[in-house]
Amino acid sequence: MKGALFATSLFAVAATVASAPAAEAAEPKYFFQIKEVTAAPDVDAAVKTAAADALKAELASRPEWASDIQATDQVAAELARRKLRGFEVTVRIENFKQEMKDPRPGGRLKQLAVNVKLVIIGATIPDAKMAFEGNGESGIEAEVAEKRMAADSERASKAALKSAVKQAVEEAVIKLGAKPAVAPTARKPAKKKT
């Protein structure tokens, strides 16, 4: 009986300790608003919209990010009140390419290859100082039917953008969480005893 009570107590303590970081992680630390999506002139507006949607969905899925503050003159005050670091985020699509390829050996359907390379850049609110950068790159190949070409192409494009955005956000979150390196202090050499 005593052993069972001890084991139960240890389990309760372990469960409390294990849930403490999860509760802490559930509190938002950062606020984001998407400023713009930039790309080369040949990139379709629908691709830019899909990139913005992918970024919103990715950041909104993370408990450390909040997006529920309205963009007004009072954003800085609200961020300070809620103890959030705020960022205006820009997505820069550096490369977006779709290419039709021949069917795989033994296959009948053509292959659609979608390659995406993008960067997300965060600038602080309200002073617009560069705070982070995250890079993402993705390539997807999918078989496409001639009669469903538009739908399959859109689906493949969104999947590639989503994957690239996820990579970029992962990199940005790591950079945001990194502690700044402390410069080593110069030490005087010890005097030699003679």
Q: Which of 51-55, 66-70, 174-178 has the highest mean pLDDT?
A: 51-55
Rounded average pLDDT over 155-182? 87
Per-residue confidence at 167, pLDDT binned at 50, 70, 90?
Answer: very high
Q: Long-range contact list for 131-135, CB < 8 A, 24+ apart?
A: 131/85, 131/87, 131/176, 132/87, 132/172, 132/175, 132/176, 133/171, 133/172, 133/175, 134/167, 134/168, 134/169, 134/170, 134/171, 134/172, 134/173, 134/175, 135/167, 135/168, 135/171
* pTM, entire model: 0.74
Rg value, the chain, Cα: 24
| 27-176 fold | Rossmann fold (3.40.50)
More confident residue, 112 or 20: 112
CA dihedral for 35, 39, 44, 46, sign (positive or negative): negative
What ranges do the domains of the chain cover? 27-176
The distance from CA 54 to its chain's CA centroid, rounded to whole angstroms, is 10
Give per-residue pLDDT as tens, 4-53: 433 333 333 333 334 444 434 468 889 998 999 999 999 999 999 999 99
